[in-house]
A and B are shown apart, each in its own frame.
Chain A
Amino acid sequence: MTAQRRTRVTSPQTRIALARRHRGGQHLLRVPAPADTERARLVFLAQRRRAVGSMLLLALVLFGLSGLVAFVPALGELRVAQFPLSWLLVGVVAYPVLVTLAMWHVRAAERIERTAGPGGAVPGDPGGAGP
């Protein structure tokens, strides 16, 4: 068997968890402070704003679409290529909308991360205080 030698990758938490039963009790992970706490806070807050925004948009898409179907019964009468419009909205149109929303969020999150590097300006919130 000439299988390539595989390296074992273990996360710090797993190592701690696995080692725990040998030494018992002592396993608290001490998380070091980030190199630049202020900047890390700004990045965190920017990411949180972005995440809240994306989730609100997602809620708007899902609840809005179902609300539309519930309150506009005409959507069931209108037909596009024989399909009732309400079926198409839920069964087909919803998916590209979801993909676009996710792509938009990921781009925005990556933009925030890029600016988190040295010299980059973190967008928004100049105060930078924690929540």
Chain B
Amino acid sequence: MTAVLAIGLVVLASLAIGVYGVRAARSTPDFLIASRQVGPGYNAMAIAGEYLSAASILGLAGLLLKNGLGTLWYAVGFTAGYVAVAALVAGPMRRSGAYTVPDFAEYRLGTSRIRKLCGCIVLVIMLLYLVPQFKGAGVVFQLVSGTPYWVGVVLAGLVVSASIAAGGMRSATYVQAFHYVLKLTFIAVPAVYLIVQAGTDTRTEALHPEPGTVFEQTTVVEFTVDTTFVVHEPTTVRDGQGQPHRLEPGSHTVAGDEQRVFPAGAAVPHPQGLPDLGGEQWSTPLLDIDGGHPLVGTWSTLMALTLGCMGLPHVVMRFHTSPTARTARRVAVGVIALLGVFYLFPAVYGLLGRVLTPQLVLTEATDTVAVALPAQAVPGSPGVVLTALVAAGAFGAFLSTSSGLLLALAGGLSHDLFSGSVPRLRLAVVVGALLAVLLALPTARLDINVLVGWAFAVAASTFCPLLVLGIWWRRLTVVGASAGLVVGAVTATGAVSTALVLDPSPGWAAMLLAQPAAWTVPLAFATMILGSLVGRAPDWSEHAVLRLHTPRHPGPESG
């Protein structure tokens, strides 16, 4: 109940800041980019606050518990994305005067035809990214309040769309700067407290993973989805009515909504197809997606995350809240530092979670480890308070990221695909939230970070080549850009949906479908370049490129 109260407070605080900002939201540019009156410090914090989504707080800890130390690369990739942003797009994008990626495409290629195509891709990326946010909100709320998953998802949709439709981005900027501090506090303080409280034995065990984790005490495992797992030794478990069941070695399936009580000392079984908790593969920091090619899997994921960041529409939009190109680049560096500090902490929950809450792997609920762990590690009221802190932080993460995402989605819907008046933008926010909620309802079982990784892969295969070639290569033509966008979007979304629907057996194909950036990004770049070389770029395209790199007024304040 304490946790529900804490979440309520975070929601109220966000709404209050949102309402305070309403006075400012008068015109479409006001609504979209806060009229450039945001200070650079606030801006870096707001960007970091928006970027650190539920994926960072819940997903990293959960995936680390489930798949092992390779998950650390997700955090590194999310951060490295901003190095690419600072090096390739921050300054020139600010000078282009375009607010969104479709805006930029129209500026650079001189036609509005490409605008609709870009608008559609924005929708795909934003939905792929919004769905895991709503999933995160749903599982956190389910865990702390005991209500069904869908209640949390629907509630989250209502709160976010209300706050955004009321205030727009000006409010979102302050809300998000506030959320960075909130999130850092709410994840760092409990993490440090847990490390201290866990005791020497737990700490040592967390740092010395051994294969074959056992339940330290009699543990009730509540299954929320149908789960098939493998048992290696005969184990006697009890069901909800206390009836003993003897599990022979082999695979067993338990239906959702049932529970099993495992005795102390029993080996923790793990769902089929997952690495052994604490095994060698688990404790090597590489992302082994298919169980055979860890280095290639790591590289493909890193490519998606690093290059996808610059293609995320809500990231691009943020740089227009800086007054000059110079400031925009410096803000990007500030963001990298802020992210680096934050990403030190999610691993703590994953590592302690392997020792204290291994049953989450069995119930396929690892995304909840950050919220479930404190109560397990620190019994009594301190545990309750810590759970409340983490839950509120996670909900805050969800609120700030999804408000930024919804704005970009609404921007795409109303500004690029239709027209740009404020009432329509507000309607678009509501429609976007509704779509995301509907899509989030059936995804309770998918890992948050896997979904987020897909959004990055699509962005890396579409907008990344468009922006990089548009900014740094004068020969890019409309034909080349459109062909590349279509090829990138179709292959990337096609690969991930194939992986999702067919669930192919482990091997090269499975890996290249599940994390396709390694081939879709080069393919999209090649298509854009070849498609452009066939035609001829208009004469003014060189001017359009040069303008992106020419400071407006020479001197230290040059923009």
Residues of A whose CB lies within 8 Å of any CB of B are 1, 3, 6-14, 16-18, 20-21, 27-34, 37, 40-41, 43-44, 47-48, 51, 54-55, 58, 61-63, 66-67, 69-70, 73, 76, 82-84, 86-87, 89-92, 94-96, 98-99, 101-103, 105-106, 109-110, 113-114, 116-118, 120, 130-131
Contact present for A86 and B549 (CB under 8 Å):
no
In the complex, A48 Cα to B548 Cα: how many Å? 12
Q: Residue B554 at the A interface, CB < 8 A?
A: yes
Closest 6 CB pairs of A and B: A117-B554, A95-B340, A11-B97, A40-B546, A54-B87, A31-B543
Chain A nearest Cβ from B339, distance in angstroms: 8
Q: Residue B284 at the A interface, CB < 8 A?
A: yes
In the complex, A108 Cα to B401 Cα: how many Å? 32
Chain B 56-99 near chain A by CB (<8 Å), digits 1 or 0: 00000000000001001101110110111011100100001111
In the complex, A110 Cα to B299 Cα: how many Å? 31
In the complex, A96 Cα to B333 Cα: how many Å? 11
Knowing A8-B30, A91-B344 touch, does A66 contact B547 (C-beta < 8 A)? Answer: no
Contact present for A90 and B69 (CB under 8 Å):
yes
Chain A nearest Cβ from B198, distance in angstroms: 13
Knowing A62-B306, A63-B302, A98-B340 touch, does A55 contact B550 (C-beta < 8 A)? Answer: no
Contact present for B112 and A20 (CB under 8 Å):
yes
Chain A nearest Cβ from B518, distance in angstroms: 12
Query: Which B residues touch A96, using CB under 8 A?
Result: 340
The secondary structure that dominates the B interface is helix
CB nearest to A79 among chain B residues: B207
Q: Which of A55, A73, A90 contacts B88 (CB under 8 A)?
A: A55
Contact present for B207 and A83 (CB under 8 Å):
yes
Contact present for B87 and A82 (CB under 8 Å):
no
Q: Which of B84, B336, B550 contacts A116 (CB under 8 A)?
A: B550
CB nearest to A115 among chain B residues: B554
Q: Residue B238 at the A interface, CB < 8 A?
A: no
Query: Which B residues touch A99, using CB under 8 A?
Result: 333, 336-337, 340
Query: Which A residues touch B314, using CB under 8 A?
Result: none
In the complex, A48 Cα to B20 Cα: how many Å? 43
CB nearest to A120 among chain B residues: B554
Chain B 327-343 near chain A by CB (<8 Å), digits 1 or 0: 00110110011011101
Contact present for A109 and B35 (CB under 8 Å):
no
Q: Which of A29, A83, A95 contacts B107 (CB under 8 A)?
A: A29
In the complex, A62 Cα to B86 Cα: how many Å? 16
Q: Which of B73, B540, B555, B558 contacts A31 (CB under 8 A)?
A: B540
Query: Which B residues touch A62, using CB under 8 A?
Result: 76-77, 80, 302, 306
Q: Which of A8, A43, A98, A118 contacts B79 (CB under 8 A)?
A: A98
Chain B nearest Cβ from A53, distance in angstroms: 9
Q: Which of A31, A91, A101 contacts B285 (CB under 8 A)?
A: A91
Contact present for A34 and B550 (CB under 8 Å):
yes
Query: Which B residues touch A29, using CB under 8 A?
Result: 106-107, 110
Chain B nearest Cβ from A43, distance in angstroms: 6
Contact present for B26 and A118 (CB under 8 Å):
no
In the complex, A87 Cα to B350 Cα: how many Å? 13
In the complex, A43 Cα to B543 Cα: how many Å? 13
In the complex, A98 Cα to B219 Cα: how many Å? 42
Contact present for B23 and A98 (CB under 8 Å):
no
Query: Which A residues touch B333, using CB under 8 A?
Result: 99, 102-103, 106
Residues of B whose CB lies within 8 Å of any CB of A are 23-24, 26-30, 35-37, 69, 72-73, 75-77, 79-80, 82-84, 86-88, 91, 96-99, 103-104, 106-107, 110-112, 115, 203-204, 207-208, 283-286, 294-295, 298-299, 302, 306, 320, 326, 329-330, 332-333, 336-337, 339-341, 343-344, 347, 415, 419-420, 472-475, 540, 542-547, 549-551, 554-556, 558
In the complex, A33 Cα to B546 Cα: how many Å? 9
Knowing A87-B69, A105-B87 touch, does A11 contact B103 (C-beta < 8 A)? Answer: yes
Query: Which B residues touch A63, using CB under 8 A?
Result: 299, 302
Query: Which B residues touch A101, using CB under 8 A?
Result: 83
In the complex, A30 Cα to B544 Cα: how many Å? 9
Knowing A11-B98, A106-B86, A113-B551 touch, does A1 contact B23 (C-beta < 8 A)? Answer: yes
Contact present for B336 and A98 (CB under 8 Å):
yes
Query: Which B residues touch A8, using CB under 8 A?
Result: 26-27, 29-30, 35
Query: Which A residues touch B103, using CB under 8 A?
Result: 11, 13-14, 17
Contact present for B29 and A33 (CB under 8 Å):
no
Task: Give me 30 A-to-B residue pairs in the complex whose CB atoms sit less than 8 angstroms apart, sorted by A's number.
Answer: A14-B29, A17-B115, A17-B420, A18-B419, A18-B420, A30-B540, A31-B547, A51-B88, A58-B80, A61-B80, A62-B80, A66-B295, A66-B298, A69-B286, A70-B294, A82-B203, A82-B204, A86-B285, A95-B76, A96-B340, A98-B79, A98-B82, A99-B337, A102-B82, A102-B87, A102-B336, A110-B329, A113-B326, A114-B558, A116-B554
In the complex, A62 Cα to B344 Cα: how many Å? 17
Chain B nearest Cβ from A82, distance in angstroms: 5
In the complex, A116 Cα to B330 Cα: how many Å? 19
Knowing A99-B336, A102-B332 touch, does A94 contact B99 (C-beta < 8 A)? Answer: no
Query: Which A residues touch B306, using CB under 8 A?
Result: 58, 62
Knowing A66-B298, A90-B73 touch, does A21 contact B419 (C-beta < 8 A)? Answer: yes
Chain B nearest Cβ from A20, distance in angstroms: 7
Query: Which B residues touch A87, using CB under 8 A?
Result: 69, 72, 285
Contact present for B326 and A110 (CB under 8 Å):
yes
Contact present for B87 and A58 (CB under 8 Å):
yes
